[in-house]
Amino acid sequence: MIKNHFYLLSGETTTIAIAECLAILESLNMDYKAEKYDQILLLNAEEESCQRIAERAAMVHRCCISLFKCEADFNQIMTSLRDTDFQKHISARETFAVRVKRIKNYSPEVSSLLLEKEIGAFIHRSVGARANLENPDKLFYGVLTDGVFLFGISVRESERKALGLRKAKFRPFFIPSSMNPHLARAMVNLSRARPKEFFLDPFCGAGGLLIEAGLMGCKTIGSDVDKKMVRGAKRNLLHFNVVNWNIILSDAKHLPFNRFDSIATDPPYGGSASTKGARPEELIEFFLQELDELSSPKGYVCLGTPLTINVNEFISGTSFRIVEKHLIPVHKSLTRQIIVLRK
């Protein structure tokens, strides 16, 4: 059944969070219509999409069935509330809580506390259900963002908290250039990786991207030019009980592999991640030419590089084109770009 759901997104990088959800739907061949707001994505799609996104996405906090969307104006909200048939969503025997979240400083004239109180009183009057703020059967969730108010029933929280348990400091093998698991998972999703299909990270380092692809059920292959990394990544994958993987010692400029369905990688750019004497630009240029042979005609490649690297220049001789680009400020002198390529 087609339904409207809205997703509360992580505030770090909204463009990646939205792109990640849409990439998951694309990998599942699900059609959708999308409306984008600051930290909120409203999707009209198969009901199952909510479960799939909540299980896989790194940048989603919560998923809600949408009951209505209106202007962020107190009277408009009360009118939309009166037009909603709550008997369809909660019975007199169930308990409920109402939570209203304000994104950033949107609609400061609308009090979220007053909304919670008035909406709660309205639901109680309409169906006779009682409030229970500690452990409700149903959680009604409202969001004020971008001049609109979205209201729905929380269906589930995402697996984002579990990702935190895979941070570099919790792994047996740790390197300073390790990517955080949230970004690693988002990059795997942006590569449109699918369970049971082949996923490659040819600059695997300590294996952050491989862990995420492996736990999503991909057949995961990694390689690195440094023996210490190959050994360390293997320890990390075993530690998180990843199955169906292989990691080998190999130079990404000459990879001994055949076709891959999806590729996500974070090549070194000096600093703490060694390029083994090569110029970072040279490495990326050679590697993209090598990938041109390896990536399947329908496959995507997700690449993390510093903003100073002009990827456009390096793909000019290949069959790749850039389909997405997201910027992540890391510190004063480094902005990372996450680029998605496709043939």
Nearer to ligand SAM among residue 120 and residue 268 (C-beta):
268
159-178 residues near ligand SAM, rule: CB under 6 A = 175, 177-178
Among 167, 239, 253, 342, binds ligand SAM (CB under 6 A): 253
Q: HEC string of 37-82?
A: ECCEEEEEEECHHHHHHHHHCCCEEEEEEEEEEEECCHHHHHHHHH
Stretch that binds ligand SAM, among 47-55, 105-113, 199-207, 295-303 (CB under 6 A): 199-207
Among 14, 275, 295, 305, binds ligand SAM (CB under 6 A): 275
Pick from 130, 97, 122, 230: nearest CA to 175? 230
Nearer to ligand SAM among residue 81 and residue 206 (C-beta):
206
Q: Tell me if residue 211 falls in helix, strand or coil.
A: helix
Cβ proximity of 66 and 42 under 8 Å: yes
Least distance from ligand SAM to the Cβ atom of residue 168, Å = 7
Does residue number 206 form part of the binding site for ligand SAM (CB under 6 A)? yes
Does residue number 183 form part of the binding site for ligand SAM (CB under 6 A)? no
The C-alpha R_g of the chain, in whole angstroms, comes to: 23
Does residue number 339 form part of the binding site for ligand SAM (CB under 6 A)? no
283-312 residues near ligand SAM, rule: CB under 6 A = 283
Nearer to ligand SAM among residue 124 and residue 253 (C-beta):
253
Site size toward ligand SAM (CB under 6 A) is 24
18: part of which helix (H) or strand (E)?
helix 14-27
Q: Helices 74-82 and 112-127: crossing angle, nearest 10°?
A: 20
Nearer to ligand SAM among residue 115 and residue 184 (C-beta):
184
Among 43, 209, 215, 339, binds ligand SAM (CB under 6 A): 209
Nearer to ligand SAM among residue 5 and residue 166 (C-beta):
166
Q: HEC string of 213-233?
A: HHHCCCEEEEEECCHHHHHHH
Does residue number 214 form part of the binding site for ligand SAM (CB under 6 A)? no
Ramachandran angles phi, psi of 176, nearest 5°? -60, -30
- The residue written with tokens 């919670």 in the block is 116
Q: Tell me if residue 286 falls in helix, strand or coil.
A: helix
Does residue number 268 form part of the binding site for ligand SAM (CB under 6 A)? yes
Cβ proximity of 72 and 100 under 8 Å: no
Least distance from ligand SAM to the Cβ atom of residue 278, Å = 6
Least distance from ligand SAM to the Cβ atom of residue 117, Å = 46
Cα end-to-end distance, the chain, whole Å: 33
Pick from 175, 97, 160: nearest CA to 132? 97
Does residue number 123 form part of the binding site for ligand SAM (CB under 6 A)? no
Least distance from ligand SAM to the Cβ atom of residue 241, Å = 18
Least distance from ligand SAM to the Cβ atom of residue 235, Å = 12
Does residue number 215 form part of the binding site for ligand SAM (CB under 6 A)? no
Does residue number 10 form part of the binding site for ligand SAM (CB under 6 A)? no
Stretch that binds ligand SAM, among 23-31, 36-44, 245-253, 293-301 (CB under 6 A): 245-253
| Residues in CB range of 60: below 8 A, 6 or more apart | 7, 8, 9, 10, 17, 20, 21, 53, 54, 158, 160
Pick from 276, 258, 259: nearest CA to 267? 276
Interface with ligand SAM (CB under 6 A):
175, 177-179, 202-203, 205-206, 208-209, 224-226, 229, 251-253, 266, 268, 273-276, 283
